[in-house]
Homo-oligomer: A and B are copies of this chain.
Amino acid sequence: MRDSEADLRHLIDWGRARGTRFAVRLVKGAYWDYETIKSRQNGWDCPVYFQKPESDVNFETLTRLLLENESIVTAAFGSHNVRSIAHAQALADELGIDRSSFEFQLLYGMAGPIKRALVEMGYRVREYCPVGELLPGMSYLVRRLLENTSNEGFLRAKFAENVSATELLRDPNQLVRRDGPGSATPATTATPVANEDRHRKNGASLDTAPGDTYRNSPLVNFVYKESQDKMRAALREVRGRFGEKYPLVIGGEKLWTDKLTPSVNPSAPKEIVGYVPEGGIPEAERAVKAARAAFRKWSRTPFEERARLLERAAAIMERRRYELSAVEVLEVGKPWAEADGDIREAMDFCRFYAAQMRRFGRPRLTQHVPGEDSYQHYFPRGVALVISPWNFPTAILCGMASAALVTGNTVIMKPSEQSIICAAMLMQVFEEAGVPPGVLNFLSGHGSVIGAHLVDHKDIDLIAFTGSREVGLKIWESAGITRPGQRELKHVVCEMGGKNAMIVDSDADLDEAIVDSIYSAFGYQGQKCSALSRLIALEENYDRVMERLLSAAASLRIGNPEEPGIVVGPVIDEAAYRRILDYIEIGKTEATLAYQAKDVPPHGYFVPPTIFTGVKPNMRIAREEIFGPVLSVLKVRDLDEAIEVANGTDYALTGGFFSRSPANIERIKAQLEAGNVYINRSCTGAIVGRHPFGGFKMSGGGTKAGGEDYLLQFLLPRVVTENITRHGFAPEETQQYRDEFLWPKR
């Protein structure tokens, strides 16, 4: 690890300060693949060295550090590399350290000659071997096997390739490639960066994986103090402006009404994060007129300009990142990492949809035909109404709005009443990015008043909705009615709830299954449409699953999400608080309360994480979306029953499966009814471009936010065919794409 030297120095200082002798075991290369993979997945700087000799150099540096501090720390050198071992020996001799005050550690059954030599030379040698259950032990051995047989590993070089002693004992410093050790990329992973070269100037090839057309923003890594400090500062700053008022924005004008809607901190409901004016029918009408008036020009703006608007918005969010996250922590009770993830997702939506629009924007040849050109391209639909929920207050609002904008529609944003400050921030971002007046309008007010009014409006062509099943079905129904003067059949993008199941197979790796299930069920208080709600465990290992599940649940950190490391904060408001507690009461009558957290904060809308067992598929807590930190566990006979139970609800949003059986995994891949199926990982945390998100059945209309088809929802296809035969003559070749059909400047 790159920061191991700093960590070791810190440890030694600490040990000296306490005056307590302690032991340190020095190893290298363990979980190297895991670390490089995870860091690449998250877009983080890689914490391990990319070059094997760099690790060897570092090992020697730390060896010196340990031996030089022999007075307080007992060193154990875990390595099979004779150079590392010899270096430790030589250094100990040089420093005059007794051979009995440190030790070498080698794996049982490996590198016998080295061990024998060390013992003969009078060194302390500890042999170690895995003990415990068979399956986890096997996976440990497999990892060790892979690591120890890696192309760059010492054991392979020494015992399989007969590399010379001189070579094996060479100073690793001489082997480090100096052309940028930090920038070298690991050879064992496919990189999106490498794919970038293949992209064309004006949008990637259609054969490129859609998510490779752009790069996801990295998540903030809150293990670093610098990140923590920034977040604390941002929280202070946002606290400092509690109670500020943010205007509606319609047609480019800032608008105030007679009444202000307060938005409160769910961790401390007496605190008012800010106010936004309550819009009514007049403001709604004004918004429609502004959006309609702006449509003609915006629809004819080149897609490249629209794409750049989104990219500028993403850059502004990047700059204001901690501040925007802090608003989420305080307005909707998101833990730090969850809030940061939401801002990250908002930026990703902007950049991904910009990249996608560069693909859809260019008219595409339909077929090569001599003498005739036919190109398919897209028109925007018109005025889009965006109705968004509070649980991903920036990302979902931004995703739907940016998709509508980049495709050339004009937009009215109607955010949830619980997250109006986050929405006001997003409006600020787009204003700064230069969205023209009327193209994006920010309207707040009661959904039952202005939401319903706009959904029914003849001048709304498109509704993008994410929220509850109840409201979604109402919108779907109302949008079916074509009213006098309406231009287009009203198109609805409808994403609703879930009742998501995770199946834990009898051979599942419980180390992973339990951690990921707990996080999926209780992360952000279970207030995600993707959250795990039903854990389905097979009879065969039900007891083991439950034992570990309950103890893992007990380790959940519950509290005010302003503090770092909190996983479970408050639910959004009093109505949610009461509804979830009611469900817990229902659960108590229907099933068995297996776990409920104690000591939740007394003020604020804190609901204790709760687990029910003995749940049957027909019970209400197994069928209805609770949207809170409540997990139902269902015991099933076998995988057949597990799939039947998992598929047996009205919803089909996310679903998960933990298993080591390739056949069972393949079965789940084919049969689990969910828009997003996750194998051997958590069932929340979809990433834009990587995990196009959305479900079917009563979870949604079959759209995928952050997916390659998503923008099509906001567009109308159009084909332009031209007879290019000119009195018997036709050009030879037709180009696959043309830039755009250009609106003349007049």
Contacts and interface: CB of A to CB of B under 8 A. Distances in A.
A376 B709 CA distance: 10
A700 interface: yes
Interface string A353-386: 0000000000011111111101010010100000
A721 B676 contact: yes
Interface stretch (A19-27, A280-288, A446-454, A677-685): A677-685
Interface string A683-720: 00000011111101110111110011100100111111
A674 interface: yes
A129 B38 CA distance: 79
Interface residues of A, number: 114
Interface stretch (A203-211, A338-346, A570-578): A203-211
A734 interface: yes
B31 A366 contact: no
Contacts of A7: none
20 contacts: A31-B728, A32-B728, A37-B730, A38-B371, A143-B727, A143-B728, A143-B729, A205-B206, A207-B207, A209-B367, A366-B691, A372-B690, A381-B702, A476-B489, A477-B480, A489-B702, A675-B716, A675-B717, A681-B723, A709-B712
A551 interface: no
A202 interface: no
Contacts of A689: 366-367
Contacts of A479: 480
A159 interface: no
A623 interface: no
Contact of A692 (B376, B491, B694): B376
A592 interface: no
Contact of A722 (B31, B189, B665): B665
Q: Report the copy number of this chain in the oligomer.
A: 2
A140 interface: yes
Contact of A473 (B482, B698, B700, B704): B482
Interface string A726-746: 111110111010000111100
B669 A720 contact: yes
Contacts of A488: 696-697, 702
Contacts of A212: 367-368
A230 interface: no
B721 A489 contact: no
Interface of A: 30-34, 36-38, 40-41, 139-140, 142-143, 146-147, 188-192, 195, 205-207, 209-212, 300, 364-372, 374, 376, 379, 381, 473, 476-482, 487-489, 491, 494, 512, 663, 665-667, 669-671, 673-681, 689-694, 696-698, 700-704, 707-709, 712, 715-723, 725-730, 732-734, 736, 741-744
Contacts of A696: 379, 381, 488, 716, 718
Contacts of A482: 473, 476-477, 698
A482 B469 CA distance: 11
B367 A210 contact: yes
A722 B681 CA distance: 7
Nearest to A509: B727
Nearest to A696: B716
A363 to B, nearest CB: 9
A654 B746 CA distance: 25
A33 B190 contact: no
